[in-house]
Structure 1
Amino acid sequence: MLSNSCSDQLEELSELLIQLSPLDYYQISSVFRTSSIGQHVRHILELFECLLTQYESGKINYDTRKRDLRLEKDPVFALEKIREIQSKINLSDKDLILFQDQNRESEGIKTTYFRELLYNLEHCVHHQALIRLACIAIPEVSIPENFGVAKSTIHYTSQLSSKN
């Protein structure tokens, strides 16, 4: 089920965050030079949170998401937010309208909850790949082999290995 995949992906993120010191989490990364691991985590979580809080209205607009700086500064708060998202994510599929800017008067795009969950899952994997790069520079952090790698890539690589 898609909500389980999202929850699992967020769990992988949690397991990595537990290893980070607060400083490693919120300081600007030498790899990124303009952002921190915490900023990437905040971005991931806010998109999930936006989808969940706007689900009832049926109108989704990621551009109007709450930008909570505490999520990028406090890894414990981010872990709490992950648990909250995981507890709420298992919702029924339904039709939604997606808006792409802050003007709700603009024409929306038809979508569904499951389609937006898939978007959030892929978005999460993408940002986890970036987080992985920053964590390589932190010797104390153990990065799982497939952290930030899409499941389709893992499957494809496995197929290639079995053919050789």
Structure 2
Amino acid sequence: MLSDACSQQLEELAELLLQLSPEDYSGISPVFKSSSIGQHVRHILEFFECLISQYDQGEINYDLRRRDLRLEADPYFALEKIRELQTINHIPDKELKILQDHFPNSQPVKTSFYRELLYNLEHCVHHQALIRLACLSIPHVRISENFGVARSTLTFISKKAEN
């Protein structure tokens, strides 16, 4: 089930956060040069949060993220947010509309909760791939070989190994 895949992806992120000191988490990464692991985590979590919090009104606008600086500064607070977000498995699919602020005259786009959940899952994997790169410069951090790798890539590699 898609919600289980999202919950598992967030769990992989939680496991990584447990290894990071607040300084590792919030400090500017030498890999990124202008952002931190925490900023990428905040970005991931706030996309999921937008989807869930705006679900009832039927219109999702990812531009309305809270940009909660505590999420990017405090890995323990981010862990709490992950635990909250892992409850998405009880939310049924329904039609939604996507709105955007950066194109003022744009029309709402039809979508669904499950479609946006899939988008959030892929978005999470993408940012986890970036976070993985930043963690290479932190010697005590151990990352699974699948962290930040898309499920389709893992399937492709697995099938290729079978041949």
Classify the TM-score, shorter chain. over 0.9
Match of 1:93 in 2: 93
For structure 1, the 5+ residue unaligned runs are: none
Give the 3-state SS of the residue equivalent to 2:96 in structure 1.
Answer: strand
Deviations 1:106-151 (A, max 9, x none): 4100000000000000000000000000001101000101000001
Deviations along 1:7-47, one digit per CA (max 9) or x if unpaired, are 00000000000000110000000000010000000000000
Report the CA distance between 1:100 and its aligned residue: 1.9
TM-score scaled by structure 1?
0.96
Secondary structure of the corresponding residue to residue 56 of structure 1: helix
Whether the aligned pair in 1 keeps the contact of 2:3 and 2:88 (CA below 8 Å) is no
**Does structure 2 conserve the Cα–Cα contact (< 8 Å) formed by 1:61 and 1:102?**
no
Alignment correspondent of 1:131: 131
Q: Which digits, 9 at most, give the CA deviation of each residue in 1:55-102, with x for residues without a partner?
A: 000000000111100000000000000000112453100000001226
For residue 65 of structure 1, what is the amino acid of its counterpart? R
Q: Is the 8 A contact 2:95 2:112 kept in 1?
A: yes
Which secondary structure state, in structure 2, belongs to the residue aligned with residue 32 of structure 1?
coil
The one-letter amino acid paired with 1:158 is S
- Give, as a single letter, the amino acid of the residue that structure 2 aligns with 1:24: D
Mapping of 1:1-164 within 5 angstroms? Answer: 1-101=1-101, 106-163=106-163
Aligned-pair identity in percent equals 65
Q: Which SS does the other structure have where 2:118 is aligned?
A: helix
Superposed CA RMSD in Å reads: 1.3
Q: Which deviates the most, 96-105 or 138-147?
A: 96-105
Amino acid in the other structure paired with 2:56: E
Ranges in structure 2 where 5+ consecutive residues have no aligned partner: none
Cα distance in 1, alignment partners of residues 139 and 84 from structure 2: 30
CA 1:43–1:130: 2 relative to 1, 3 Å: same
TM-score (norm 2): 0.96
Q: Is the 8 A contact 1:95 1:113 kept in 2?
A: yes
Which stretch of structure 1 is more off in the superposition, 46-55 or 93-102?
93-102
